[in-house]
């Protein structure tokens, strides 16, 4: 069994980021990975403008308090000032409106008294107060976002503000998914005695989609070497990553490893020191392709995705941040048992309290077949190899789940 960290390292060493690109827009760019550095076309702010409703003035006119100034125009947002301020003059101005030439300061309206064509300044502002200067936040032509960054809502708003309506992004990894086993049936089918609903394809498809990759569902494959080989060959040819569940242990009907070798794959992981999920087979193929033979037990399959497939998809997608999952330190809320020579990953809920993070394991048995109590969990607590148990109040590492 390979240690967990070593398995992750080998997986990341086996692949390189994808190089293919395509064009995304402000409407389609959410979650995509930028392929090039982006520069904006506009200064932000585009011009000096008011940060407050009030009066645009010349600071030099504020010799004492109160001062009376002549109001020469009103400037709403979106309107170009028609006059320049001269000595002793002011302009009524609203938030976001362009400052007139000659103005350098805004007095908030609460500190003024408007009387006819005059405004009395009751409280002097500081120089340039409530003025957003042109280019104060960003200067046109400078880098605003870097290649390898995943675009979120704020990033898209920034691109819109800079009038970057189209931009290159890396193509999304394609992930082929199928389940193996004569006993499996799709959720819409009626079950006979001894048969099992195939939940894995749906959990894995949702996982792949949550990572911004494209899921390709190849269905259920029976325990027939010829059919399995044909499906594996199709998956390898049509996808960047293959996720199959089942058939990777040591039973009479576990054909995946032998077929991977027959198809020309280089198997570099056969089992990992983790519970659940020990029987993990990972192979690489020419063309920067990875095959993950995941366990058939549903919790094991998802834990394997969260711990090992997620970093691979991040690297393939061109992401330049950390590939590994996010870990935090938390206080244990209940006794957690270790797994001897393996790291135990126990699912539950991480919540924030006044003293920091607290982890509470899910109720019920932590069996790799018990998918039910995995629902609505958001973290995996780790009991390291050789640790018999972690007791309430102890500190432990917790892995955040990507949903």
Same domain for 287 and 217?
yes
Q: Does residue 382 have a pLDDT over 90?
A: yes
Q: Does residue 46 have a pLDDT over 70?
A: yes
CA distance linking residue 330 with residue 68, whole number of Å: 61
Structure tokens at 67: 């001062």
Q: Over the stretch 221-268, which tens digit does the pLDDT of each residue have? A: 999 999 999 999 999 999 999 999 998 866 665 799 999 999 999 999
Contact 226, 163 (CB under 8 A): no
Same domain for 190 and 309?
yes
Q: Does residue 65 have a pLDDT over 90?
A: no
For residue 202, the surrounding DSSP H or E stretch is helix 200-210
* The pLDDT value given to residue 232: 97
Backbone angles phi and psi of 183, in degrees to 5:
-80, -10
- pTM > 0.85: yes
Has residue 373 been placed in a domain?
Answer: yes
Q: What residues form DSSP beta bridges with 357?
A: 352
CATH code of the domain covering residue 208 = 3.40.980.10
Domain boundary among 132, 161, 195: 132
Same domain for 241 and 286?
yes
CA distance linking residue 338 with residue 384, whole number of Å: 7
* The pLDDT value given to residue 247: 82
* The pLDDT value given to residue 254: 78
CATH code of the domain covering residue 334 = 2.40.340.10
CA distance linking residue 76 with residue 80, whole number of Å: 9
Q: Does residue 403 have a pLDDT over 60?
A: no
Q: Which domain holds residue 360?
A: 327-400
Query: What is the distance of C-alpha 219 from the center of its chain?
Result: 28
Nearest residue to 244 via CA among 305, 285, 190: 305
């Amino acid at each position: 069994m390979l240690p967990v960290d070593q398995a992750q390292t080998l997986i990341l060493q086996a692949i390189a980021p994808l190089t293919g690109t395509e064009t995304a827009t402000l409407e389609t760019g959410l979650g995509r990975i930028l392929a090039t550095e982006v520069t904006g076309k506009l200064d932000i702010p585009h011009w000096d403008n008011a940060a407050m409703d009030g009066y645009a003035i010349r600071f030099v006119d504020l010799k004492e308090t109160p001062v009376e100034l002549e109001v020469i125009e009103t400037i709403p947002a979106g309107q170009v000032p028609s006059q320049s301020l001269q000595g002793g003059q002011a302009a009524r101005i609203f938030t976001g409106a362009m400052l007139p030439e000659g103005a350098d300061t805004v007095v908030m309206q609460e500190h003024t008294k408007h009387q006819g064509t005059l405004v009395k300044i009751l409280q002097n502002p500081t120089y340039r107060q409530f003025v957003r200067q042109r280019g104060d936040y960003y200067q046109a032509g400078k880098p605003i976002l870097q290649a390898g960054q995943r675009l979120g809502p704020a990033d898209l708003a920034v691109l819109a503000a800079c009038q970057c309506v189209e931009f290159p992004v890396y193509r999304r990894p394609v992930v082929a998914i199928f389940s193996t086993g004569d006993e499996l049936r799709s959720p819409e089918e009626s079950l006979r005695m001894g048969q099992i609903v195939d939940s894995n394809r749906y959990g894995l498809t949702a996982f792949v989609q949550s990572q911004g990759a494209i899921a390709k569902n190849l269905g259920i494959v029976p325990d027939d070497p010829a059919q399995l080989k044909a499906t594996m060959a199709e998956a390898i040819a049509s996808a960047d990553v293959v996720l199959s569940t089942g058939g990777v242990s040591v039973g009479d009907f576990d054909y995946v490893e032998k077929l991977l070798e027959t198809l020309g794959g280089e198997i570099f992981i056969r089992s990992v020191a983790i519970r659940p999920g020990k029987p993990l087979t990972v192979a690489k193929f020419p063309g920067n392709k990875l095959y993950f033979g995941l366990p058939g037990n549903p919790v094991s399959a998802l834990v394997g995705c969260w711990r090992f497939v997620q970093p691979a998809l991040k690297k393939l997608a061109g992401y330049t941040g950390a590939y590994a999952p996010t870990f935090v330190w938390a206080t244990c809320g209940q006794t957690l048992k270790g797994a001897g020579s393996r790291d135990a990953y126990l699912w539950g809920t991480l919540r924030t309290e006044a003293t920091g993070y607290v982890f509470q394991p899910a109720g019920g048995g932590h069996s790799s077949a018990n998918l039910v109590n995995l629902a609505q969990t958001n973290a995996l607590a780790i009991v390291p190899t050789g640790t018999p148990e972690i007791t309430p109040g102890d500190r432990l590492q917790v892995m955040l789940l990507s949903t």
